[in-house]
Amino acid sequence: MKFMLFVLPTVPGTLDDRKRLRPIARNNERYQQMLEELRKLAIFADEAGFDVFATTEHHFHSEGYETSVAPLLLYADLAARTKRIKFSPLGLVLPSWDPIRAAEELAVLDHLTKGRIYAGFARGYQDRWVNVLGQQYHVTGAPMDGSSIDNHNRKVYEENVKVIKKAWTEEAWDYDGEYYKVPYPYKEGIRRWPVADWTRSYGAPGEIDDAGVVRKICVVPKPYQLPHPPMFQPFSVSETTIRYTAQSGIVPWILVANPPDFQRLCHVYQDVAATAGRKLRLGESVGAFRAVHFGNTEAEAVALLRDTNYAGFQNYFGGFGFWEAFRTAEDAAKYPLDPYTPLPPSEWTIDRMRRVKYGLAGTADQIKTEIESLRTIGGDGDLEWFGWFFDQGFMPWEEEVRQIELFAKHIIPTFR
């Protein structure tokens, strides 16, 4: 099993601090404190044996929670301070990016780190910033409900992935897509290129036609990892997403936690991958995403879960529909999916979080038992990736260190 340490870069502070120092994310002293914590965590994770250090990408988070601006810049800093651990955005929100710029920056980071990156791509669900930075595609945050807004966001995302792959794997190429065209304008080509002879002599073959018109482009550099960095997609909930990632050779990080539902999605991924020519073991090329909290007693661990990860879901992520990942079969009668009826806040309980096996809280032995059950995927699988949603910024630094030490001592050696 491989291990990811996933954090939401969070400006440290209590809720009282956030009110007193609002907007705390523009407080330079606290922002520097966050950067120092992230540096220490990356070094610690590297030494502890984690395979990947990951963060989200988000913007405008004045509240100081998920202050995940410019993850690739952050990873360049962290990679220079570590030895072997890899880095991944979970993920770059492609409907807010120019896909060629994303391909270029990831390829440069791949070279700077000599292959220590995974390319994580996401669709985006937060209207506050996706609407602003994704306006060129007329996208908004995706509500994950199968609506026209959701489907438009998905189509833009999938087209951008195609463009990025072309940029990484083809020397000279064109593309006539619904949302993106290369060159632009596509049919006319780029006619004002006074150094056509220079490019024809020294550039990639096929860029320039006989009339001196730019007909194709060559994106440089190509990635250090060939044909390109392996790809992740967070945080998968729907079967549609699982099927897409299986067809596209992308590792899905599955947030759905209830064991029967998680197992079903793993089987779907395996089956669809087989139709695409990828013969995988059950659990291979799949990531499970869970919260983990250790305590000397189960009660102590549950209290830590309540004050950190659960508080984040209760006060923040729940507003974006993430409790839908914690449904059970018994919910269908009261809260059907057709017509769509989301779980109400009265169902957003710590007991549900633990019952569906997302929130793993207990002693080291209890956590090992839970992860062993997850690893086997119901008895006949072998899960490849385990992602720990780590609550940086919501615990005192000493507690953060203690939690990672326990994970490194009891979990990584057991399941490596």
**pLDDT value of residue 142:** 85
E runs forming strands in 31-184: 52-55, 86-89, 92-93, 119-122, 175-176, 181-182
pLDDT of residue 235: 87
The separation between the first and the last C-alpha atoms of the chain, rounded to the nearest angstrom, is 5
Alpha carbon dihedral 153, 154, 156, 158, in 10-degree steps, equals 160
Is the separation of the CB atoms in 288 and 385 below 8 Å?
yes
CATH 3.20.20.30 domain position(s) in the chain: 2-169+223-415
Using an 8 Å Cβ cutoff, are 311 and 223 in contact?
Answer: no
Q: Are 242 and 266 in contact (CB under 8 A)?
A: no
Which residue's entry shows tokens 């194709």? 216
Q: What is the pLDDT of residue 213?
A: 98
Contact residues for 346 (Cβ-Cβ < 8 A; gap 6+): none
* Structure confidence at residue 6 (pLDDT): 98
- Please state, as a whole number, how many other Cβ atoms lie within 10 Å of the Cβ of residue 302: 19
Residue pLDDT tens, the chain, 416 long: 999 999 999 999 988 999 999 999 999 999 999 999 999 999 999 999 999 999 999 999 999 999 999 999 999 999 999 999 999 999 999 999 999 999 999 999 999 999 999 999 999 999 999 999 999 999 999 876 778 898 999 999 999 999 999 999 999 999 999 999 999 999 999 999 999 999 999 999 999 999 999 999 999 999 999 999 999 999 878 899 999 999 999 999 999 999 999 999 999 999 999 999 999 999 999 999 999 999 999 999 999 999 999 999 999 999 999 999 999 999 999 999 888 899 999 999 999 999 999 999 999 999 999 999 999 998 889 999 999 999 998 899 999 999 999 999 999 999 99
User: What is the C-alpha to C-alpha distance for residues 15 and 378, in angstroms, rounded to an integer?
Assistant: 40
Q: What pLDDT does residue 340 have?
A: 86
- CATH code linked to domain 2-169+223-415: 3.20.20.30
- Please state, as a whole number, how many other Cβ atoms lie within 10 Å of the Cβ of residue 73: 11
Q: Please name which of 387, 368, 396 lies closest in space to residue 307, comparing C-alpha atoms.
A: 396
